[in-house]
Amino acid sequence: MTTSSASEGRFVNVRHVSPVSAFKIALAMSLIGLVAWIIAVAVLYFGMQVAGVWASVNELIGGVGGDQAITFGVVMALAALLGAIMSVLLSILAPLAAVIYNGVTDLFGGLEVVVQD
């Protein structure tokens, strides 16, 4: 990290991001996002249930000969599975992005930000 002073603040050049730090931050953020995702799906499910959407869909499924039903458990299981897959992908891709960023900054220089006191 390189710094130089200016009248409106300090210029800081970020040239390296640790892949381990990127992994830790991505893991924490993806777990928080997973919780938010599960809560959002539950609220949306109950809103659609009050509106009668699930009864209509289950009636349609029964009308074409299916014996399946879309229940809260099925919807939450699918939401949890998709959320877990996305959390794992984001946690894996963050260190990869940090390595790519470090390689690009070696070629072209880092990200310059202004820090004001």
pTM of the model: 0.77
Q: Please enumerate in sequence order all residues whose Cβ is within 8 A of that of 38, keeping only pairs 6 or more positions apart, or say none.
A: 76, 79, 80, 83
The pLDDT of residue 105 is 92
What's the confidence (pLDDT) of residue 89?
Answer: 96
DSSP tag of 43: H
Which of these, 46, 19, 32, lies nearest to 87 by C-alpha position? 32
Residue 102 buriedness (CB in 10 A; 0-12 / 13-18 / 19+): middle
| Distance separating alpha carbons of residues 41 and 39, to the nearest angstrom | 5
Looking at residue 2, its pLDDT comes to 55
- Which range marks the domain in which residue 58 is found? 2-115
Give the total number of structural domains in the chain: 1
Q: What is the pLDDT of residue 109?
A: 86
Q: Please answer whether residues 3 and 13 qualify as being in contact, where contact means their C-beta atoms are separated by less than 8 angstroms.
A: yes
Backbone torsion region of residue 52, taken as left when φ is above 0, otherwise alpha when ψ lies between -120 and 50, otherwise beta: left
Residues 83/24/4/108 CA torsion (nearest 10 deg): -70
pLDDT tens per residue across all 117 residues of the chain: 555 555 678 888 888 999 999 999 999 999 999 999 999 999 999 999 999 999 998 888 888 877 788 899 999 999 999 999 999 999 999 999 999 999 999 999 888 888 887
